[in-house]
Chain A
């Protein structure tokens, strides 16, 4: 009976409620109500999916429409006279030099993430293993830097970057190491604490010096955290707008994607809606590809970062 009721359709599922109080019937009505609530939950989830994907589809659809139709008929499909093919993309690429910006975004993000992961892991290892008052103080300073809003240090940082000639992509990497150190050192330290010291002692007895010990014994054990830290920093650096805008500025060829998108709209109030839609699509594509390729690590990274934080 209960297996039968599981396979009945939803119209049948209301029937057992009218039947009597036999234990079999009540078991049947219970699984039926569970199935109804499952159906409701799926309906909610599908509706939410539309809410979450809708905005992206809206941008994609409009990126193929003529610019005046985007304003007049924003929810129409790009068919017939609305359709302009890839003209918006051609205009947008010309106006923004988008591929150059994408190149610098990739350059700055990849190099920053490598530098952050490599050096912050070493720093975290050192301040966790060497316990003195000043390593403790440094640890607290790193944690403290996570709470401080960027505006607090914005003006002096930009001036320092200017004076020291850090207003270029390589200089950005130096600054990102400094700003990324707080969270990264914090996550690495939490993990280093959980590594038993006896493994390292064994390596030392076998003749490993501290540097060899770190690179051959400790660093391989840090690999899963390194992936977590790399992903959290990649998301942040790739999307960061204010630091590259203020440090590198608009009059250089080193602009990143967020900077050119803001420049495309901010200065002239988006008079070419078509080009804007096309550039938004191009800006979203790399991050979605990255996400679909490494979503397992991203989601694990978010959880690990949150639990440690």
Chain B
């Protein structure tokens, strides 16, 4: 009976496939090819081999520095966001009244877009730093701490929701049985609750990892890489290379390919590592 559906492929798939081809598939392969070319527009590209890749990693490109800064932000953000989110979710799944109100409040920052969020926090940090007669862009450490605080404020609520869903799906008989066997709260948390919410941990690690690593809007709005590109993250570095430096489009595209490979590799490794720790109830 599905044979009659088969003929309707153009209707069911057509619009999505055309758009997907224009926005993603064709640009992906053109992008791979252009990373091996020197060009200013797509039509005047001339093949130069791996030259762009060597340039991308050379000094003065700031790409290595941007990748290292991105990695540092990601490591700290992933740890802090997940610890806070899990702790808040743990509190909110205890039998307290009014938890819906707190959930609503803590999730709200997620809906505010990166640009608006970045300028909101830039104003606040500068207002605080005013007491020491300094600003967010005088010291790269301020920028680093600023991005971490901003990311926590933004992402904790989202991850909290996922952790709450995970915690609520842990069968209460399991924790009760452990308590009857004499396990304290910490033992139950470590040996029963956390293994049972491993699927949530997998998802939250994946989301925090990829969101932090691909961060662009917040980075642009908060410090725009200042001072001296020391707080420039990888995505910002790539966009600046492609659009703000004439003649470096190919180098920017090569950086984008490297960035894509790193993001995919990290996502793949992380998913495999934590999926392996998931248990069945």
4 smallest A-B Cβ distances: which pairs?
A178-B23, A239-B113, A74-B127, A156-B27
Is A142 a contact partner of B20 (Cβ separation < 8 A)? yes
- B51 CB within 8 Å of chain A: no
Is B127 a contact partner of A153 (Cβ separation < 8 A)? no
28 residue pairs bridging A and B, Cβ less than 8 Å apart: A41-B96, A51-B153, A53-B105, A55-B124, A56-B108, A71-B130, A74-B130, A119-B16, A120-B16, A123-B13, A148-B24, A151-B239, A154-B256, A155-B27, A164-B22, A174-B18, A210-B4, A210-B5, A235-B111, A238-B113, A239-B112, A258-B115, A262-B221, A283-B113, A287-B111, A288-B108, A291-B108, A307-B203
Is B108 a contact partner of A151 (Cβ separation < 8 A)? no
A309 to B158, CA, bound (A): 14
Extra A-B contacts (19), CB below 8 Å, given A52-B106, A53-B105: A52-B108, A70-B123, A126-B9, A149-B214, A149-B260, A151-B255, A151-B260, A153-B31, A155-B253, A181-B24, A210-B4, A211-B8, A239-B112, A239-B217, A241-B217, A242-B217, A266-B220, A287-B111, A291-B111
Please indicate the chain A residues that have their CB under 8 angstroms from the CB of B134 in the complex: none
- Interface digits, B14-32 against A, CB 8 Å rule (1 contact, 0 not)? 0111111111111110110
- B249 CB within 8 Å of chain A: yes
Is A52 a contact partner of B109 (Cβ separation < 8 A)? yes
A150 to B21, CA, bound (A): 15
Please indicate the chain B residues that have their CB under 8 angstroms from the CB of A147 in the complex: 210, 263-264, 267
Q: A-B pairs with CB below 8 Å: how many? A: 278
Please indicate the chain A residues that have their CB under 8 angstroms from the CB of B19 in the complex: 119, 174-175, 177-178, 181
- B91 CB within 8 Å of chain A: yes
Distance (Å) between the CB of A191 and the closest chain B CB?
Answer: 16
Is A177 a contact partner of B105 (Cβ separation < 8 A)? no
Please indicate the chain A residues that have their CB under 8 angstroms from the CB of B34 in the complex: 155-156
- Interface digits, A271-298 against B, CB 8 Å rule (1 contact, 0 not)? 0010011001001100110111001001
Distance (Å) between the CB of A25 and the closest chain B CB?
Answer: 22
Residues of B in contact, count (CB < 8 Å): 93
Is A155 a contact partner of B242 (Cβ separation < 8 A)? yes
A255 to B17, CA, bound (A): 27
- A79 CB within 8 Å of chain B: no
Is A122 a contact partner of B31 (Cβ separation < 8 A)? no
Interface of B, helix, strand, loop or mixed by DSSP:
helix
A123 to B264, CA, bound (A): 25
A130-B5, A181-B19 known; A211 vs B11 contact (CB < 8 Å): yes
- B207 CB within 8 Å of chain A: yes
- B142 CB within 8 Å of chain A: no
- B157 CB within 8 Å of chain A: yes
Please indicate the chain A residues that have their CB under 8 angstroms from the CB of B130 in the complex: 71, 74
Contact stretch, chosen from A6-14, A42-50, A80-88: A42-50
Is A179 a contact partner of B23 (Cβ separation < 8 A)? yes
Contacts of B25-56 to chain A: CB distance below 8 A: 25-28, 30-31, 34, 41-42
Is A283 a contact partner of B116 (Cβ separation < 8 A)? yes
Please indicate the chain A residues that have their CB under 8 angstroms from the CB of B28 in the complex: 148, 152-153, 156
Please indicate the chain B residues that have their CB under 8 angstroms from the CB of A159 in the complex: 41-42
- B57 CB within 8 Å of chain A: no
Contacts of A229-244 to chain B: CB distance below 8 A: 235, 238-242
- B69 CB within 8 Å of chain A: no
Distance (Å) between the CB of A208 and the closest chain B CB?
Answer: 10
Is A148 a contact partner of B23 (Cβ separation < 8 A)? no
Distance (Å) between the CB of A52 and the closest chain B CB?
Answer: 5
Distance (Å) between the CB of B8 and the closest chain A CB?
Answer: 5
Q: Which of A150, A177, A179 is close to B15, meaning CB atoms less than 8 Å apart?
A: A177
Shortest Cβ distance from B262 into A: residue: A149
Please indicate the chain A residues that have their CB under 8 angstroms from the CB of B27 in the complex: 153-157, 160
Is A119 a contact partner of B15 (Cβ separation < 8 A)? yes
Is A160 a contact partner of B256 (Cβ separation < 8 A)? no
Distance (Å) between the CB of A132 and the closest chain B CB?
Answer: 9
Please indicate the chain B residues that have their CB under 8 angstroms from the CB of A23 in the complex: none
Please indicate the chain B residues that have their CB under 8 angstroms from the CB of A52 in the complex: 105-106, 108-109, 153, 157
Please indicate the chain A residues that have their CB under 8 angstroms from the CB of B157 in the complex: 52
Contacts of B183-225 to chain A: CB distance below 8 A: 199-200, 203-204, 206-207, 210, 214, 216-217, 220-221, 224
Please indicate the chain B residues that have their CB under 8 angstroms from the CB of A246 in the complex: 243
